[in-house]
């Protein structure tokens, strides 16, 4: 897919963007690729055939806007890696014991990537590869191409983990549940970026929220998955929006836990009862992988009981579009960093329900530092799929947290005010002259001036 790719023009920098194939990584890196192309750079966005289908919308958007972005499909030999055919994305891994084979299989992209890079005259300016793609370091070294690392999570999370490693905290705690203070955190968290830059001893370019590349509804609607759209009860993307248009301003809670975390039926039921008791309007995204006959039966009875107060959407939802709807007044989120930033950008307060990885620290940042959310009360991680057995969060906790954000009381309104203020700052950061806009300008200039990789 070539669009307007201006392959031979040496006057323009050429970035080769290599995302990990997981929605929480591919989506922001595709946005970054669009942002770079929007600044006049040529961009090769590297992916595999199955993921190319999801990224096609980004490539089409670039082509329609006259941007120089090329989608490059490299073959991933799944069978050779012991994976089922087409298992090319973290959300397509059918069972936990295939995680390791999947991550090992990524190394098999090195040779096809080298062939692609060698065929580019002149040599690309710089590779920007995901932190989870360490094999790209050897590729860049062998071909003498500069390489920058894309970190999806926040500098706050990166700084905390750096400090934990430095102080050997992982060795010192007795078990997973022991709480401890993160050493060497600055008093004022807003200095995190500088502190991280100083501690890591490298340049850092904060360039987000990258979702703000998308100015119109069309781009927002197809972001991350141009093909599946919304059905099941919603009547297409338009159906959800029409439903939201009929609701009062800031009266709807949006419930969604990102692209990977899966909720088991017992937990789904507790969420349902909690929403019902809270009495709020809601849009609730239930993943395809969470569906079963039992789930469907329970949800359809629940939908009938809620009498039009809520909408359950099955499958992929246009999250950024939903968050931007004036009717949406709260977001129950797993606190993936993209989702967190997207809520901040929309000025929407959160009910935080972290599941794994950086999500617990993101939740702390939202609740304790920024004061734009309420925790639902999760203390234990549930990686990818919560363990069988009892629900981790009961209906009463769900109700309590939802009510405190959505009931129009002082606590919730204060959070909303702060969330809106932050949203304004986030949008300003991406405007010409804003901090992220200027950071991206520096990144492009610096990438052209860096010494070549060895």
> Which stretches of the chain bind ligand UDP, using CB under 6 A?
23-24, 27, 224, 256, 258-261, 285, 316-317, 319-320, 336-339, 342
Residue 324 CB, shortest distance to ligand UDP, in Å, is 11
336 neighbors 25 (Cβ within 8 angstroms): no
Residue 265 CB, shortest distance to ligand UDP, in Å, is 19
Residue 130 or 399 having the CB closest to ligand UDP = 130
Residue 260 CB, shortest distance to ligand UDP, in Å, is 4
Residue 140 or 261 having the CB closest to ligand UDP = 261
| E strand spans, 103-145 | 126-130
Q: Distance between CA atoms of 99 and 346, rounded to whole angstroms?
A: 34
Residue 320 CB, shortest distance to ligand UDP, in Å, is 6
Q: What is the CB neighbour count within 10 angstroms for residue 98? A: 17
* Residue 252 vs residues 5, 245, 281, 326: alpha-carbon distances, Å: 42, 11, 5, 9
Report phi then psi at 81, rounded to 5.
Answer: -95, 5
Bond into 67 cis (ω within 30): no
- Measured over the CA atoms of residue 256, residue 88, residue 295 and residue 306, the dihedral's sign is positive
Bond into 130 cis (ω within 30): no
Residue 346 CB, shortest distance to ligand UDP, in Å, is 11
Residue 44 or 319 having the CB closest to ligand UDP = 319
* Residue 411 vs residues 58, 94, 404, 449: alpha-carbon distances, Å: 39, 42, 7, 49
Report phi then psi at 311, rounded to 5.
Answer: -130, 125
β-pair partners for 282 = 253, 310
Residue 24 CB, shortest distance to ligand UDP, in Å, is 2
Is 227 buried (19+), middle (13-18) or exposed (0-12) by CB count in 10 A? exposed
Residue 124 or 258 having the CB closest to ligand UDP = 258
Residue 126 or 343 having the CB closest to ligand UDP = 343
Residue 232 or 394 having the CB closest to ligand UDP = 232
Residue 211 CB, shortest distance to ligand UDP, in Å, is 7
264 neighbors 294 (Cβ within 8 angstroms): no
Residue 298 CB, shortest distance to ligand UDP, in Å, is 20
Residue 97 CB, shortest distance to ligand UDP, in Å, is 20
Cα atoms in the Cβ-side hemisphere of radius 13 Å centred on 329: 25
Residue 213 or 316 having the CB closest to ligand UDP = 316
Residue 322 or 447 having the CB closest to ligand UDP = 322
Nearest to 34 by CA among 272, 220, 174, 304: 220
Residue 213 CB, shortest distance to ligand UDP, in Å, is 12
Residue 26 or 126 having the CB closest to ligand UDP = 26
Q: What is the 3-state secondary structure (H, E, C) of 273-288?
A: HHHHHHCCEEEEEECH
Collapsing DSSP to helix, strand or coil, 30 comes out as helix
Residue 152 CB, shortest distance to ligand UDP, in Å, is 7
State the DSSP string of 184-217: T--SSGGGHHHHHHHHHTS-------GGGG--SH
Residue 24 or 274 having the CB closest to ligand UDP = 24
Q: Distance between CA atoms of 93 and 83, rounded to whole angstroms?
A: 8
Strand pairing class (42-47; 373-375): unpaired
* Residue with the shortest CB distance to ligand UDP: 24
Residue 270 or 342 having the CB closest to ligand UDP = 342
């Amino acid at each position: 897919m070539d669009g307007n790719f201006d392959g031979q023009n040496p006057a323009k920098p050429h970035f080769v963007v290599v995302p990990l194939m997981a929605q929480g990584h591919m989506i922001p890196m595709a946005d970054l690729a669009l942002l770079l192309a929007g600044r006049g750079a040529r961009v090769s966005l590297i992916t595999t055939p199955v993921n190319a289908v999801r990224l096609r919308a980004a490539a089409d958007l670039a082509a329609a806007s006259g941007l120089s972005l090329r989608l490059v499909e490299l073959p991933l030999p799944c069978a050779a890696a012991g994976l089922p055919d087409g298992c090319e994305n973290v959300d397509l891994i059918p069972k936990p014991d295939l995680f390791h084979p999947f991550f090992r299989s990524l190394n098999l992209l090195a040779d096809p990537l080298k062939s692609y890079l060698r065929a580019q005259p002149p040599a690309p300016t710089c590779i920007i590869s995901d932190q989870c793609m360490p094999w790209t370091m050897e590729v860049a070294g062998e071909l003498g191409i500069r390489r920058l690392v894309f970190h999806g999570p926040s500098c706050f999370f990166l700084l905390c983990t750096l400090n934990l490693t430095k102080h050997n905290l992982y060795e010192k705690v007795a078990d997973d549940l022991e709480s401890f203070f993160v050493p060497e955190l600055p008093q004022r968290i807003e200095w995190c970026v500088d502190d991280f830059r100083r501690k890591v001893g490298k340049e850092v370019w904060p360039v987000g929220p990258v979702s703000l590349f998308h100015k119109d509804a069309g781009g927002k609607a197809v972001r991350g998955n141009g093909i599946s759209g919304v059905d099941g009860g919603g009547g297409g993307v338009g159906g959800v929006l029409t439903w939201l248009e009929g609701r009062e301003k800031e009266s709807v809670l949006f419930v969604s836990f990102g692209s990977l975390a899966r909720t088991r039926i017992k937990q789904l039921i507790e969420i349902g009862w909690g929403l019902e008791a809270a009495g709020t309007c809601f849009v609730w995204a239930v993943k395809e992988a969470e569906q079963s006959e039992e789930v469907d039966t329970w949800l359809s009875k629940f939908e009938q009981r809620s009498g039009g107060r809520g909408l359950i959407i099955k499958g992929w939802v246009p999250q950024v579009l939903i968050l931007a709807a004036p009717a949406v007044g709260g977001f129950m989120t797993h606190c993936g960093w993209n989702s967190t930033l997207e809520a901040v950008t929309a000025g929407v307060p959160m009910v935080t329900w972290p599941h794994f990885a950086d999500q617990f620290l993101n939740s702390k940042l939202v609740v304790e530092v920024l004061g734009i959310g309420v925790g639902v009360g999760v203390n234990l991680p549930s990686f990818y799929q919560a363990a069988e057995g009892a629900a981790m969060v009961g209906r009463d906790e769900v109700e309590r947290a939802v009510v405190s954000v959505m009931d129009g009381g002082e606590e919730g309104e204060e959070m909303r005010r702060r969330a809106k203020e932050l949203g304004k700052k986030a949008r300003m950061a991406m405007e010409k002259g804003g901090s992220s806009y200027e950071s991206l300008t520096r990144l492009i200039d610096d990438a052209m001036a860096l010494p070549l990789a060895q």
